[in-house]
Amino acid sequence: MNRAMPVFLDRDGVINRNLADYVRSLNDWIPLPGSIEAIVNLSNAGHPVIVVTNQSAISRKYCLESDVMEIHQHLIQLVDEAGGKIDGLYYCPHHPDDACDCRKPKTGMLDTARKDLNLPPGGYLVGDASSDMEMGRRAGLKTILVLTGRGLNQLELIKMENHPAPWRVTEDLASAALIILEDSTV
């Protein structure tokens, strides 16, 4: 019975539109169709929903940490107004060269979330990138690659580089949520 299994979500390319040039402000942040509703459905089914996102735009000085926090407040509010809940939201502000413990594919954000929220091991990871899948794998999560955002290109990359296939590949967060809901009520 996986009913209360946590669901970890990547942000850019999963919940909102990915931008090649980084999502830098609230103006850049455009939710993908059905993504807020999908989060609400997961949340209402009892799944803790946690967002884990690399935001190196902060260390690259493309935006301020306060811009990222403004986006996250907005996301939390949208989900709240739609009747759901985001249980946790974690971002890595570091540059790839910083060798921090939180930048995906490292599992630091997942480890922190588990401690903060007292989550059971296991659960699901929805992302649009190879690094999301790798983090999920390292943490023993069921990985779902969505084809929104960078998903289509990243799926090719995963195949080309002979990485293990994701647990599931699906169209978008809405269909990923359906897969999770079905899997966790069997």
Question: Applying CB under 5 A, which residues contact Mg ion?
Answer: 10, 12-13, 128
Kind of pairing, strands 49-54 and 7-9? parallel
The one among 103, 104, 114, 137 contacting Zn ion by CB under 5 A = 103
* Residue 172 known to be catalytic: no
Q: How many CB atoms lie within 10 A of CB 186?
A: 6
* Residue 116 known to be catalytic: no
Alpha helices in the chain (DSSP H): 35-44, 65-81, 108-117, 130-138, 151-160, 173-183
> How near is the Cβ of 132 to Mg ion at its closest, in Å?
7
Contacts of 160 (CB under 8 A, 6+ apart): none
Per annotation, catalytic residue among 12, 128, 132, 172: 12
Residues 80-99 touching Zn ion, rule: CB under 5 A, are: 92, 94
- 102 binds Zn ion per the rule CB under 5 A: yes
CA distance 116 to 94: 21
> How near is the Cβ of 62 to Mg ion at its closest, in Å?
16
Catalytic residue ranges: 10, 12
Residues in contact with Zn ion by CB under 5 A are 92, 94, 100, 102-103
